């Protein structure tokens, strides 16, 4: 929509229509003591050219993954996505897409959501997937609610190695329900099947385990989920990284009943922290309890292929007491990007991306291990994220590397991990974008920072 500024006569016409003399009269209801009477402290009006220069100068002070090698992760990763995706998503019919309220009239959007569901279900190794959720943390909470609504039980077993912000959101969502959250303690950075076994009971609705976990370690999904299934109907819930599924066993292959996670790695830029999208897939038996929306494919009366909203188990369409979720929309635009990304790369492309992440992270881990005083925190298998123990203050290391133009990773103590972290861990993520030169440069900076 083009923006055209109102002129003086048009403003006066509006004032006359509502019976005021100036726009200030609209704000008479605001108490004078909290009203800004002296105007805002803004720079003088600038010409368009001057404004462009001023904004460009301000923007030049911003540093980040766009101009610095980025080894930060912890749930949001600096992956490559083809320029084709930006070109496609910038088209008006895609860019303005939102949840279709006259759904069947939006055949293009429904087709993309249907394809997105098919791709996520295949990636997770499960039967069905919904048309996306808000983000990874709320998707985990929805997966827990799905297990609770299905089993009618009141206890969730949650791995302490799951992202702490996911745990915080899960606690918030379940706080008004009569649900007990039991945390599973880790051994050497992972959850053992024996720990799951010790905590199983007939009250457990689901067992949630993230892999790779917050420390980058690959969990024993097979063992943990086998123990979860010793109690009938208990849901095994996998929190997964979609890129890792390119080379690792899928949640479905490991025995998961429900799989959930963050879809940001699938073609969505870091975007200063969002918007992202939540992924949720499950076995077919969970279909009618699935939160959000499921798009289906059928034929019309003329035999043509058409798409429709098959299930909408949410409070906007169902009486509140019968709704399985209060999620009111899906991240349609982000899901479109993800679908375009998966279509562009294909299964071979995603596998290649995953292999590069794996090889490069293992190269960096080996090089850091050679430094005096630097050690890997855990010796278990990992995908593309490692946790290293700094021989000095981790904040000093992070600040030094940033001053040299490199984002070295995430200090564990600053990510709500006070109860889990010793305060000296640095979590380093390596994606396919990182070069050998960048990794070698990071190793040198870590060496210098610890002197």
102-113 average pLDDT score? 78
Model confidence at 89: pLDDT above 90: no
Helices (H), 301-435: 332-369, 394-403
Task: Say whether both 354 and 310 belong to one domain.
Answer: no
Q: What is the pLDDT of residue 292?
A: 82
* Same domain, residue pair 333 and 375: no
The answer to the question of residue 12 being in a domain is no
Find all residues with CB under 8 Å of 90, minimum gap 6, and list them.
none
Domain boundary among 291, 311, 342: 342
**Same-domain check for residues 353 and 317:** no
**Structural domain count, the chain:** 2
- Residue 204 within a domain: yes
The range of the structural domain enclosing residue 165 comes to 83-342
pLDDT tens digits along 5-43: 788 899 999 999 999 998 888 888 899 888 887 778 888
In a domain, 60, yes or no: no
Q: Could you tell me if 160 and 295 lie in one domain?
A: yes
- Closest-CA residue to 218 (of 195, 191, 257, 193): 191
pLDDT of residue 5: 77
Residues 415 and 324 in one domain: no
Q: At which of 317, 342, 367 does a domain end?
A: 342
How confident is the model over 154-169, as pLDDT tens digits?
999 999 999 999 999 9
Mean of per-residue pLDDT scores for the chain: 91
359 and 273 both lie in a single domain: no
* Domain end marker among 315, 342, 369: 342
* pLDDT reading at 305 higher than 70: yes
Of the candidates 447, 440, 445, which has an alpha carbon nearest to the alpha carbon of residue 402? 445
Q: For residue 422, give the CATH number of its domain.
A: 3.90.1150.10
Which whole number is the average pLDDT over 122-138?
94
Give CA–CA dist 67/10, Å, rounded: 46
Domain co-membership, 332 together with 350: no
Q: How far apart are CA 435 and CA 27, in angstroms?
A: 57
In this structure, the answer to whether residues 333 and 382 fall within a common structural domain is no
- The verdict on 330 and 242 lying in the same domain is yes
Examine residue 309 and state whether it is found in any structural domain, yes or no: yes
1 has a pLDDT exceeding 50: no
The answer to whether position 36 is within a domain reads no
Domain match, 334 and 354 both: no
Span 181-205, pLDDT tens digits: 999 999 999 999 999 999 999 999 9
Contact 365, 426 (CB under 8 A): no
pLDDT at position 284 over 60: yes
**CATH number for the domain harbouring residue 131:** 3.40.640.10
Per-residue confidence (pLDDT) for residue 308, from 0 to 100: 85
Residue 282 has pLDDT above 90, yes or no: yes
pLDDT at 451: 84
Which strands form 235-240's sheet, in the order they lie side by side?
Answer: 128-129, 278-282, 258-262, 235-240, 204-211, 155-159, 180-184
In a domain, 117, yes or no: yes
Please give the residue that has the higher pLDDT: either 246 or 2. 246
Which residue bears the tokens 């190695």?
161
Residue 202 within a domain:
yes
Percent of the chain clearing pLDDT 90 (strictly above):
72
pLDDT exceeds 90 at position 352 = yes
pLDDT of residue 319: 58
- What is the pLDDT at residue 39? 77
Is 234 in the same domain as 156? yes
Q: How far is CA 436 from the centre of its chain?
A: 27
């Amino acid at each position: 929509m083009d923006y055209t500024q109102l002129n003086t006569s048009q403003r006066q016409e509006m004032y006359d229509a509502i019976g005021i003399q100036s726009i200030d009269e609209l704000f008479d209801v605001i108490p004078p003591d909290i009203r800004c009477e002296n105007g805002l402290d803004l720079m003088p009006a600038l010409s368009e050219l001057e404004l462009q220069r001023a904004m460009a100068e301000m923007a030049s002070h911003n540093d980040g993954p766009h101009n610095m090698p980025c080894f930060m992760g912890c749930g949001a990763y600096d992956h490559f996505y083809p320029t084709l995706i930006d070109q496609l998503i910038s088209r008006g019919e895609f860019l303005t897409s939102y949840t279709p309220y006259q759904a069947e009239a939006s055949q293009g959007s429904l087709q993309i959501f249907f394809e997105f569901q098919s791709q996520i279900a295949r990636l997770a190794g499960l039967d069905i997937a919904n048309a996306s959720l808000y983000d990874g943390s709320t998707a985990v909470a929805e997966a827990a609610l799905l297990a609770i609504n299905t089993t009618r039980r009141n206890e969730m077993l949650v791995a302490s190695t799951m992202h702490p912000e996911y745990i915080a959101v899960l606690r918030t969502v379940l706080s008004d329900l009569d649900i007990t959250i039991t945390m599973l303690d880790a051994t050497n950075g992972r959850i053992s099947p024996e720990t799951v076994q010790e905590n199983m009971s007939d009250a457990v609705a689901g067992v949630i385990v993230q892999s790779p976990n917050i420390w980058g370690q690959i969990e024993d999904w097979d063992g943990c989920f086998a123990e979860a299934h010793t109690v009938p109907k208990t849901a095994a819930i996998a929190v997964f990284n979609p890129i890792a599924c390119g080379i690792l066993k899928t949640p479905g292959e490991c025995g998961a009943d429900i799989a959930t996670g963050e879809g940001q790695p699938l073609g969505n830029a870091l975007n200063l922290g969002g918007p992202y999208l939540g992924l949720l897939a499950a076995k077919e038996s969970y279909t009618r309890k699935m939160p959000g929306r499921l798009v289906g494919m059928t034929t019309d009366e003329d035999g043509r292929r058409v798409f429709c909203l098959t299930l909408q188990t949410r409070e906007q369409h169902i009486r509140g007491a019968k709704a399985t979720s209060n999620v009111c929309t899906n991240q349609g635009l982000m899901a479109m990007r993800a679908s375009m990304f998966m279509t562009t790369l294909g299964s071979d492309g995603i596998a290649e991306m995953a292999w590069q992440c794996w090889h490069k992270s293992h190269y960096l881990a080996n090089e850091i291990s050679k430094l005096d005083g630097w050690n890997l925190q855990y010796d278990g298998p990992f995908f593309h994220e490692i946790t290293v123990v700094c021989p000095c203050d981790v904040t000093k290391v992070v600040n030094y590397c940033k001053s040299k133009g490199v984002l070295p990773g995430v200090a564990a103590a600053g990510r709500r991990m006070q109860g889990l972290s010793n305060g000296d861990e640095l979590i380093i993520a390596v994606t396919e974008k990182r070069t050998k030169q960048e990794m070698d440069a990071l190793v040198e900076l870590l060496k210098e920072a610890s002197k």
